[in-house]
Amino acid sequence: MSSQIQELIDKIKNDGIQQAQDEAGRIEKEAQEKAAQIIREAEQEAETIVLQAKDEVKKMEVAARTALQQASRDMLLALRKHIEKTLQKLITTEVSGALTGDRLAEIITDVVAKTVEESRDHGVVIEVNPRAAEELKAGILKKLQDTVKKGVALEGSDEVAGGFTISYDGGKSSFDFSDESLGQFLATYLNAQVADILKSAVH
């Protein structure tokens, strides 16, 4: 009887130890699997964060490059406008200075002499600023009339600051040789050169 009890006690003891060992093994296995899962998730999360960071850096680089390009374009446009404005002022001043006094009289006489046939049956109408008109009438008017052999009108106009306009159809239309018109013409040519210079400067 005592031996049976001992066997029962030993069996219970052995079964308990085995069960405890099995449970410990199961817990350890679950812990290892859980740890492996946590590591995988952490690695995936880290990879996602790195990819997002790279994408964000790339977007920032593109934005910075775009902003820099826009700033460069704005600066060049502002510089071009400033240069064009300065050129326009300089050219107009130089042309205005050149189209005065004897030089203006010489140019008008030369233009009329070379284009006299354009007047056909109409007289020639020349407009200059009022001050120049008074100065020129005494000098070149008779010479022009002798050259053209028909009526020549030399009129003062507040719309002509410098230079002159000339009409061959009685004033219905005219060719503009005013300082403003010639200045704009020259400035347009020079502005194209300025644009080319600035364009080559950014390449």
Q: For residue range 62-85, what is the model confidence (pLDDT) as tens digits?
A: 888 888 888 777 777 777 777 777
pLDDT at position 19 is 75
pLDDT at position 36 is 83
Q: How confident is the model at residue 8 (pLDDT cuts 50, 70, 90)?
A: low
Q: Where are the domains of the chain?
A: 95-191
- Give me the CATH code for the 95-191 domain, please: 3.30.2320.30
Average pLDDT (160-170) is 79
Asked whether residue 197 carries a pLDDT value surpassing 70, the answer given is: no
Q: Which helix (H) or strand (E) is 28 found in, with range?
A: helix 2-98
Tell whether the torsion through CA atoms of 126, 127, 131 and 132 is positive or negative. Answer: negative
Q: For residue range 86-96, what is the model confidence (pLDDT) as tens digits?
A: 767 776 676 66
137 CB-side CA count, 13 A: 13
